[in-house]
Chain A
Amino acid sequence: MSPLLFWIFAAIMLVFGGMVVIHRNPVASALSLVVSFLALAALFVSLDAYFIGVIQILVYAGAVMVLFLFIIMLLDLKAELRRRPNLPAVCGGFVVIFLFIVAIAEVSFRFQGGDASFQPIAQGPQGDIWHVGMILFQRYNIALQVVGTLILVASIGVVVLSKRELK
């Protein structure tokens, strides 16, 4: 993938990420986040990580954000009112941004491997899904099972709680 496409998608992602915060209408914010996710998925695809890219769309853009939107619509959230910014909050915000930029600069200047080129992982007929599966089910098998059990317990808990609510 050419660097041009990388810049385009990175720009889309950042711009729409910013829109999530800037927009006053909650639906517009949620949709901006969806576009941001799509651009992020495109970046994953550019790294030959098709599986992660598609899962990004399927899970985040296709399911999680639909639920978000669903809830926003059901609650009928109105656009936020424009308030006068108060000085301490603005100053605090700038401090946080400054610290964040410093942290990123620190990391990126320290990072030596940025110039090195790596072997593409997803080679061979199986592609990246095979690799992801192998790593998940061999190296991190126990962790995966634990997480799976945790999610199962959580979903059973939700069912029990919602049933109790009904009575």
Chain B
Amino acid sequence: MMHLLLFALISLIKTIGLIFVIILPMVSYTVYAERRVSAMIQDRLGPNRVGIPLTLFGFQKDIPFFGLVQPIADAVKLLLKEDFTPNHVNKFYYCLAPACAMAPSMMALAVIPFGSQLWGEPMVVANVNIGVLWVFAVSSLGVYGIVLAGWSSNSKYPFLGGIRSSSQMISYELSLALSVIPIFMICGTLNLPEIVRYQTVHGWLISPIWLNGISLFPPSINGQEIMRSFDFLKFLLWIPLFISFIVFTISMFAETNRLPFDLPEAETELVGGYHTEYSSMKFALFFLGEYAAMIVGSAVIVTLFFGGWHVPFLPTTLVDPYTFWGVILGLIHIAAFFFKVALLLFFFIWVRWTLPRFRYDQLMRLGWYFFIEIALVNVFIVAVILPFMRR
């Protein structure tokens, strides 16, 4: 009983720490980063004013602080706005939809290892064997929020947005799931912490240049073994893995409704798409849900391809994780994970402000004609290579 209580307490601390201390601030600062980066790409400056408002307390000047307080101002604005509910909507589903949009991305975080360990406790909320399947399952539920919003708003543009979103997400879920199968074939597990551990030994799946390479030969100090691990087979599996990285990343763009695939909310054609009829905090939930989905997507990409929390040239574990340096190492791993996520988020933003939106038939063509076929062939290639490497 005591053991169960302790387990529940630790899980609760991890969940709260992850979601409220790291992810939600990260979501709001991703919005800030989006505004700043987009501004700079367009030769503007973006919000750089909102700081500590000293003038409210009678001082001469505010401290601008690079506008880092902007997300708080945004949140206050969104919370204090009038929560307008149009008369023609289906009230219950109209209120349910924003929650359905936000919750799945938060749930998907449960299986992602965001650090190695702290005080011997693995830094993942739920260490389950189904790992990435859980992420796909939960994020596939995210479409309900958008579809419900589109349907319950009871007007044309949101409805079109909802319809587009549902067909887009179903189409790209296929290539999303198919493209990562090579990873599981190579690592032999679906468990995300295990995949990260595999990468700490064999090198990141995106670029296995250091460490042992994705050779599947057991690491050994025996001279012959090292010679063998340096042969060309070491990098042979890297080619299909790189293909699966590209397919997975692009499908992730489509799955999170980011430009160039943001057809469900295409402003120029559908006004605001599925959230046209929403205002105030309900709108904010859609907005934050989109960014949370983006963060989860980046976290999955980091976990699968960029070695998760692994920092090259740094030990993965110390002998005793309870010492000061053990804790520091654990914190460095957590920081490394979120640093990589932040870099990927920058990539997401960068792509958004570079590429124009696809047309709907182009989007569907890309998904059904190319990505699914590429992913299937990729699986086949890995299946052919693997028996030769296992020996």
> Interface digits, B115-157 against A, CB 8 Å rule (1 contact, 0 not)?
0000000000000111001101110110110011011000000
User: Which residues from chain A contact B190 at a C-beta distance below 8 Å?
Assistant: 129
Q: In the complex, are the beta carbons of A66 and B147 less than 8 A apart?
A: yes
Chain A positions within 8 Å of B136 at CB level: 58, 62
The answer to whether A73 touches B137, judged by C-beta atoms less than 8 angstroms apart, is no
Check A54/B141 contact, CB under 8 A, given A70-B147, A70-B163, A70-B166.
no
- Whether B140 and A63, one on each chain, are in contact in the complex, defined by CB atoms closer than 8 angstroms, is yes
A10-52 interface code vs B (CB 8 A; 1 in, 0 out) = 0000000000000000010001001000000000000000110
Q: Which of A63-85 contact B (CB under 8 A)?
A: 63, 66-67, 69-70, 73-74
Given known contacts A73-B159, A128-B129, A129-B129, is B137 in contact with A66 (CB within 8 Å)? no
User: Chain B residues with Cβ under 8 A from A34's Cβ?
Assistant: 144
What distance in Å separates the Cβ of A77 from its nearest Cβ neighbour in chain B? 11
Chain A residues in 8 Å Cβ range of B138: 57
| B151 contact from A27, A51, A57, A129, Cβ within 8 A | A27
- The B interface is mostly helix, strand or loop, or mixed, namely helix
Assuming A58-B137, A62-B140, A62-B141, is B130 touching A69 (CB within 8 A)? no
Give min CB distance, B10 to chain A, whole Å: 19
> Could you say which of B129, B140, B162, B189 contacts A58, with CB atoms under 8 Å apart?
B140
Residues of A within 8 A of B133 (CB): 51, 54-55, 58
Chain A residue at smallest Cβ distance from B162: A73
Q: Which residues of B contact A127 (CB under 8 A)?
A: 129-130, 191
CA distance A29 to B334 in the complex (A): 44
In the complex, how many residues of chain A place their beta carbon closer than 8 angstroms to a beta carbon of chain B?
22
The docked-state distance in angstroms from the alpha carbon of A63 to that of B128 is 23
Given contacts A57-B141, A74-B163, whether A62 and B173 have CB atoms under 8 Å apart is yes
In whole Å, how far is A40's beta carbon from the nearest beta carbon of chain B? 13
- The answer to whether B129 and A50 have CB atoms under 8 Å apart is yes
B93 within 8 A of A: yes
B171 to chain A, nearest CB (A): 11
The CA of A73 and the CA of B136, in the complex, are separated in Å by 24
Which residue of A has the minimal Cβ distance to B139?
A: A62
Chain A residues closer than 8 Å to B128, beta-carbon distance:
50
Known contacts A50-B130, A51-B130; is-contact A66 B163 (Cβ 8 Å): no
Residues from chain B with Cβ under 8 Å of A74 in the complex: 163
Instruction: Specify which chain B residues have a CB less than 8 angstroms from the CB of A128 in the assembled complex.
Output: 129
Could you list 20 further interchain pairs (A-B, Cβ under 8 angstroms) beyond the known A57-B137, A129-B190? Answer: A27-B93, A31-B93, A50-B128, A51-B129, A51-B133, A54-B133, A54-B137, A55-B137, A57-B141, A61-B141, A63-B140, A66-B170, A67-B166, A67-B170, A69-B144, A69-B166, A70-B147, A73-B162, A73-B163, A74-B163
6 contacts between A and B (CB under 8 A): A57-B138, A63-B140, A69-B144, A73-B147, A73-B150, A127-B129
